[in-house]
Amino acid sequence: MKPITHTACAIFSLALIAQTRMAGQMPAGMTHEQHLKHMAKDEALQHRGAEAMGFDQAATTHHFRLFSTGGAIEVTVKDPADEANRKFIRTHLKEIADQFAAGDFDKPLMTHGEMPDGVAGMSQRRSEISYTFEGLPEGGRVRIRTADRQALDAIHRFLRYQIREHHTGDSLEVIN
């Protein structure tokens, strides 16, 4: 067995760093330890999300939209032939619309391991907010609407929290 040289060790270390960055895309300015903690948090979110939502998080795409009248939660399958996850998405989003309307935000708590920003305001102003399920060809959406300024602020805080936590890349600004 040949001894490992410093050059071989350095090459291995660089390859490992590159692989880690490609897999988890370590953000600039973040230490390796912070990145590992961030990746562990994301993995836990994916696991809890699958349990709370009932579908494979890796096989689906989430989007959160901010509108001048509220916003939307959209979930679609990545593979158009994935009928099982499409069915689970629609079931979950119908439940979410009903639960949120009743002031029940247990699923976001289960998914994130904490109560998302905006939920307190959405609960307090729930009589001013409507939640409507809409089927989409590849999944579904929950439209959230209000004419109340305090409720609107709470909805937007909730959706921005979701965008950041799920790393969707969706706009944090109102889009219409």
What is the pTM for the complete model shown?
Answer: 0.71
Amino acid in the structure at residue 1:
M
pLDDT number for residue 153: 98
Above 60 in pLDDT, residue 23?
A: no
Q: 145 is in which domain, residue-wise?
A: 40-166
- Indicate the residue type of 149: R
Which of the two residues, 166 and 159, has the higher pLDDT score? Answer: 159
Reference 114, options 43, 171, 41; nearest CA is 41
Determine, yes or no, domain membership for 26: no
> pLDDT by residue (tens digit) across 39-90?
554 565 555 545 555 667 789 999 999 999 999 999 999 999 999 999 999 9
User: Is residue 110 one of the residues assigned to a domain?
Assistant: yes
- The string of pLDDT tens digits covering residues 103-158 is 998 877 676 477 888 999 999 999 999 999 999 999 999 999 999 999 999 999 99
List beta partners, residue 64: 73
53 within some domain = yes
Whether residue 133 lies inside any domain: the answer is yes
Average pLDDT over residues 157-165: 93
Is residue 75 one of the residues assigned to a domain? yes
Give CA–CA dist 134/141, Å, rounded: 5
What 8-state DSSP symbol labels residue 26? Answer: P
- Residue 131: CB partners within 8 Å, gap ≥ 6? 96, 97, 98, 100, 101, 142, 143, 144
Is 153 a domain residue? yes
Q: Which residues of 93-115 are buried (b: 16+ CB within 10 A; e: fewer)?
A: bebbbeebbeeebebbeebbeee
Q: How confident is the model at residue 22 (pLDDT cuts 50, 70, 90)?
A: very low
25/34 Cα distance (integer angstroms): 12
Is there a domain that residue 14 lies in?
no
pLDDT of residue 25 exceeding 90, the answer is: no
Residue 12 confidence (pLDDT) above 50: no
pLDDT digits (tens, 9 = 90+) for 63-73: 999 999 999 99
Is pLDDT above 50 for 91? yes
3-class DSSP state for residue 14?
Answer: helix
In a domain, 155, yes or no: yes
Number of structural domains found in the chain = 1
Task: Count each helix (H run) and each strand (E run) in the chain, helices first.
Answer: 6, 4
Predicted confidence at residue 118, as pLDDT, reads: 95
